Structure 1
Amino acid sequence: MSEPTGKYSITMPRDIAEAAKARSGPSGLSAYVAAAVARQIERDNLNEIITVAEAEHGPVTDDEVQALRDQLHQARSRQTERMRGGTSAA
């Protein structure tokens, strides 16, 4: 069962509306805009979580972010190697 919907009137710059129409594909402009708004709400929620966490634990440093990116890159590389049938030491 799909979510209930409502009809809304929004105003946006014409060039943005035209670009959205061009990219919306078969699902249509309403679905495209709804997905974009849903992504923005997720980002807003994550920013709120980050703000609370940083207030409690202090800001995340650039070095910590880079270390986590490196871990993610290594994990993706190991996964790719396993998918290709090779073996990779952990």
Structure 2
Amino acid sequence: MALAGYFVGARFTDKEKSYNWINKITMGSLIILIFTMGARIGSDKRVISSLQTIGIKAAVITVFAFAGSITACFIVRKIFRIDRKGVKIDD
């Protein structure tokens, strides 16, 4: 679905025009999605009863995902010679 949105946005939008309202819609949709997911998970008695076990596993997965993302960004920046602001480093 995201790929379809990319192609529509790349093909049918005016590059000179500013689309600030899209950020507001995206943020609102994300907030609604996260709230709905939290409410659904919170209402499940099985999840609540096993929260201690799930919490430890989730914390470990989160730490490794975070560390992996930072490491991957660092490596990609070094390979493509890009600084922290996304600007190509000249020799």
Q: TM-score, normalised by structure 1?
A: 0.40
Higher RCO structure (Cα 8 Å, ≥6 apart): 1
